[in-house]
Structure 1
Amino acid sequence: MYRYCKYSCSIIALALSACSGLKNTRQANIFNRQDAIAASQAGASPLFFEAGLLPEGQQVSGYSNDKELISRNGLPNFFNKVNAGKPLTIAFIGGSVTQMDNKYRNQTAKYIRALYPKSAIRFMNAGVSGSGTDLGACRIQNQVLNYKPDLLFVEFAVNGSYLPGLEGIIREVIKNDPGTDICLLYAIMSGQSQLYMKGEEPANILELETLADHYHLPAIHLGWEPSALEAQGKLIFKPDPKVTDKPVFSDGIHPTEFGGYIYAGAIVRSLNKMQSVGSAKKHVLPAPMIKDNWEDGKMLGLEQLTFSSGWEKIDPKTNANLKQFAPWFSYVMQADRPGSFFSFSFKGNKIGVFDIGGPEVGQLDLVVDGKKLKSLNRFSHWCNNRYRGQYDFVDVPYGEHQVQLVISSEIPDKKALLGTNQLADITANPDKYNKCVIWLGKVLIRGELIKNIN
């Protein structure tokens, strides 16, 4: 199975062998990808956004490739509603490629608005930079399904496209409302355009296709057209100082505004092709393809936890360093005293935290059923005078557990973590870093909350 890389404040490197030149290249590509994703982790975006108007003269290209869209059962419920003039909600969930403003998500929304000018459509941005389908499966209920979407675009191909997490997302959507249509989007990263040029598709996308087949979901390969344009010498995939006379498609992962319109064009062409595919009906929930999928993923609100003394409720909008996270967290709990803890009880097999990293943060000791399991360091070299959203998961044996997360008295060796090239701020402001602050936004679990611990 395609290997999954967990994310925390510090991206955990994949352990890959380098037995050949090809493997070395693949390893370098993966590490570069993780660095780019980690660097992109930052603040939140507003959940709802306005589509705006297409620039004058902006049109979808005439590119044609039968492999661009695998329509399967199409999007008949969406088209039934839009043709009937009903109000609609269209949501996008994914990583940084989706969260970014003025890129494919906004551009697709502009095209859709132009296609259906008489329809009342609201658009949702559930992109979280630097995140994968694991966090997606935990947050989709709170951030998407509670708002009753009619159509959901799912984009995780270059960000943690972890199959059990993606199946969890799909199953949660169908269980919540079998009338919601789902469309998978396959973005690409550096190196993959070479496969498309040869008429092949990347291995990670082929694995995503097994889920699309199982649930009969349409999928759009966003990489065919940019790969064809690169082959024709009409663009370069990522910046090259030696090439100044061609448009740049991306930074290797994240499309530019120019690249975003190419992605959006593929989506619009596919929507046009799917207008007459299938008939409106409820989606059937088959047996899971992966038994251990993440359909039981949940994101707990802070009001569902028990806090010791020493914690303070903070409105991020009132804090200059934290206000960028307000769309994710209506409030955060803050503490900086070793020994302060929060607790809960659940039945399941994974525990996670969704929090805010920065120069001041420390470590949490995870105590399960009275025994310390491990320490979760909330600081990394990405926290150099910078605040960022982050999350982490820990496996536990399936069952009922009492959980405490305790602020550790041990402060990480932050200079060592920052590295020799990032010591200016910590040298100038040592007191800022000599702290063990925790800014908790949400708790994540796979399983069911049982009760609070008193």
Structure 2
Amino acid sequence: MKLSTKFIIAFGCVMLMNTLFFSFKVKSQSTDKETLERERLIAASQTGAMPLFFDPSGNDVPTIIPGDFNSNQECYLRDGLPNFFNKAREKKELVVAYIGGSITRGSNLYRMQSAKFIQNMFPGLQLKFINAGIAGTGTDLGACRIQEQVIQFKPDLVFIEFAVNNAFPDGMEGMIRQIWKANPSTDICMIYSIFNGQSKIYASGKVPDNILGLEKIADHYQIPSVHMGLEASALEQDQKLLWKAANGTDTDKIIFSNDGTHPLVAGGNLYAQSIARSLLKMKTHAKELKHKLPQPLLATNWEDAKMFAPLDIAKFSIGWSKVDPMGFPSFKQFSDWFPYVMKAESAGDSFTFKFDGNMIGFFDIGGPEVGQLVLEIDGKPVTLQKQKGTLALKASQESNSLGQVNRFNSFCNNRYRGQAEFIELPTGIHTVKFSISPVLADKRAILGPNQLEDIGNNPDKYNKTTVYIGKLLLRGKVIK
């Protein structure tokens, strides 16, 4: 399989999903403060680039054994992974992809250990592994990026992990339908990580609400699912595990994590062991089939989500320039994510495109100097409103004020961040225009009292209206 060099190191840069980070709230979650802290920790985990293709065979990757934990609620086989195991028996080259958030992205949080277990299941077989995990991202962005990061490499098995990060069923169903439309022989396995507090829900015999929403999707498509946190929950209940503890804690118990969300190696081993046990069950549950696409469960699913290089679909005004991220030390981390970035810094600089659909968006880069964009749809100004249950803003023409899309957030303090925006529109054919606003956001208020040192010492760095566009997103079809 030939791979272009721009994908061999891959898509690794980090992202922040604007200042709003929605999450499903379970009934047992004690306070909104705990929810906000978890979201902050997930956002703060977004550092560094990771290779798209990875090799789990190194000595630094723990070798796990399935263990003797046994629960009928850990793995729901449904149709299993028949095509993957049949190809393995036929000694065919296999491609295994992982797509998810920060828990998938990181090393030895489960992905590396489970991949090594798969490698050891089939000694001598040629296996390639894909890491399409990006921290802080959910199934909505997953549905936009899955073609470029996963499907084009023709995977035989795709693990999808988004339970902690924005577990929107609409995006999950959109990913599944895109995978099977491309190749109905590709097997899919949904895997569920959990966060602090949800272990007690499992221990009580129940399932967290956000995971129940994803299970409806798995059941509709008869996709196997693995509840990775079940054994850790049982160990915590037996007082053999601490779900959250600081480094250096004096204890003989297993420490699952430092922050209640991202597992340490021991926690990652437990997650991976659940996958190992499930794979062994599914290995004997193999009957080759072509997965059929039933009618969608959700009419609002993101099957039509797409991602484009900016110049492929949009026309940019003269003030924009095409920038190579490799030419700037602070932007090199984005070079495998964005082959180029469109940059402008003057009020009024704009870009336009036309499409038939109901959602627009973009990947961009945030930093001290970034400003705001104003949005016009079909030549008319719009207002933008936050919506409950989604990261997407809603555009409407109920007033004559221009919608300001602020690209500066609390993670733009003296550093550059990957981020994204989604905006929902009424379904139809639209001409979209984004222009740089002359109005600066109140950056001091956004940073808060604990992050004012740099803006106080270097005010000119923040007093700008620069915008960097790396990718354009939409649901629907481009009209050229």
TM-score tier by shorter-chain length is: over 0.9
1:444 corresponds to which residue? 473
Query: Paired residue for 2:33?
Result: 28
- For residue 161 of structure 1, give the secondary structure of its aligned residue in structure 2: coil
1:249 alignment partner in structure 2: 256
Equivalence for 2:451: 422
Mapped contact 2:104–2:161 kept (Cα < 8 A)? yes
Q: Is the Cα–Cα contact under 8 Å of residues 137 and 166 in structure 2 kept in the other structure? A: yes
Distance, in Å, in 2 between the alignment partners of 1:180 and 1:342 is 38
Q: State the one-letter code of the partner of 2:198.
A: Q
AA aligned to 1:268 is A
User: In structure 2, how many angstroms separate the alpha carbons of the residues matched to 1:241 and 1:142?
Assistant: 38
2-structure distance, mates of 1:56, 1:408: 51
- Quote the residue 1:4 is aligned against: none
Counterpart Cα distance in 1 of 2:94 and 2:24: 45
2:324 is matched with: 315
Match of residue 159 from structure 2: 153
Residue pair 1:44, 1:128 contacting (<8 A) in 2 also: no
Q: How does 1:42-441 map to 2 (within 5 A)?
A: 42-53=47-58, 58-240=64-246, 243-245=249-251, 246-250=253-257, 251-304=259-312, 305-373=314-382, 374-441=403-470
* 8 Å Cα contact 2:29-2:197 kept in structure 1: no
Moved more, 288-297 or 42-51: 42-51
Q: Is the 8 A contact 1:108 1:264 kept in 2?
A: yes
1:108-157 deviation line (CA, Å, top 9, x unaligned):
11121122121111111111111111111111111111111110000000
Q: Is the 8 A contact 2:17 2:136 kept in 1?
A: no
Deviation at 1:56, TM superposition (A): 7.2
Contact 1:347 1:449 in 2 (8 A): yes
Q: What's the secondary structure of 1:169's corresponding residue?
A: helix
CA distance in 2, matches of 1:56, 1:30: 31
Most deviating of 405-414 and 210-219: 405-414
Give 1:104 deviation, angstroms: 0.9
After superposing the two structures, state which structure 1 stretch, 35-44 or 95-104, moved more.
35-44
8 Å CA contact 1:69, 1:219 repeated in 2: yes
Question: Helix, strand or coil for the counterpart of 2:456?
Answer: helix
Distance, in Å, in 1 between the alignment partners of 2:68 and 2:135 is 31
In the alignment, the residues of structure 2 paired with residue 430 and residue 43 of structure 1 have an alpha-carbon distance, to the nearest angstrom, of 27
List alignment gaps of at least 5 residues for structure 1. 1-6, 17-21
Assess if the C-alpha contact under 8 Å between 1:314 and 1:332 holds in 2.
yes
Structure 1 CA distance for aligned equivalents of residues 63 and 18 of structure 2:
43
CA positional deviation for 1:377: 0.5
3-state DSSP class of the match of 2:152? helix
Matched position secondary structure for 2:450: coil
Counterpart contact for 1:41–1:390, Cα < 8 Å: no
Cα 1:450–1:336 change in 2 (3 A) is same
Q: CA deviation at 1:294?
A: 0.6
SS at match of 1:425: helix
Q: Is the 8 A contact 1:172 1:295 kept in 2?
A: yes
| Local SS of the residue matching 2:255 | coil
Q: Is the 8 A contact 2:63 2:113 kept in 1?
A: no
- TM-score by length of structure 2 reads 0.88
For the 8 Å contact 1:43–1:388, the answer to whether it is kept is no
- Give, in angstroms, the shift of residue 346 of structure 1: 0.3
Deviation at 1:243, TM superposition (A): 4.4
The separation in 2 between residues aligned to 1:290 and 1:57, in whole angstroms, is 40
Distance 2:245 2:431 in 1: 50
What TM-score results when the alignment is normalised by the length of structure 1? 0.93
C-alpha contact (below 8 Å) 2:351/2:433 kept by paired residues: yes
User: How far apart are residue 223 of structure 1 and its match?
Assistant: 0.8
Once the two structures are TM-superposed, the CA of residue 228 in structure 1 deviates from its matched residue by 1.2
Using the alignment, how far apart are the partners of 1:405 and 1:41 within structure 2?
27
Alpha-carbon contact 1:193-1:223 (below 8 Å) kept: yes
Q: 1:417 to 1:153 in 2, by over 3 A?
A: same
Identity of aligned residues (%): 48
Kept in 1, the 8 Å contact 2:86–2:286? The answer is no
| Contact kept in structure 1, 2:151 and 2:179, CA below 8 Å | yes
Corresponding residue SS for 2:291: coil
Q: Cα offset for 1:25?
A: 1.7
Aligned partners of 1:416 and 1:57: how far apart in 2?
48
Find the aligned partners of 2:470 and 2:91 in 1 and give their Cα distance: 39
**Distance in 2 of aligned mates of 1:67 and 1:230:** 17
Instruction: From the superposition, tell whether residues 307 and 42 of structure 1 become closer, same or farther in structure 2 (CA, over 3 Å).
Output: farther
In structure 1, distance between residues paired with 2:328 and 2:108: 27
Describe the shift of the 1:375–1:23 C-alpha distance in structure 2 as closer, same or farther (beyond 3 A). Answer: farther
CA contact (8 A) 1:49 1:122 kept: yes
In the comparison of the two structures, how many residue pairs are matched? 440
Q: Contact (CA 8 Å) 2:28, 2:201: kept in 1 or not?
A: no
Q: Please state how far the C-alpha of 1:265 moved relative to its aligned partner.
A: 0.9
Matched with 1:3 is: none
Segment drifting more, 108-117 vs 173-182? 108-117
- Moved beyond 6 Å, runs of 4+: 13-16
CA contact (8 A) 1:11 1:38 kept: no
* 3-state SS in 2 of match to 1:25: coil
Deviations 1:182-237, CA, capped at 9 Å, x for gaps: 00001001101001111221111112111111000000000111111112222211
Tell whether the 8 Å contact from 1:88 to 1:150 is kept in structure 2 after alignment: yes
The answer as to 2:43 corresponding to 1:38 is yes
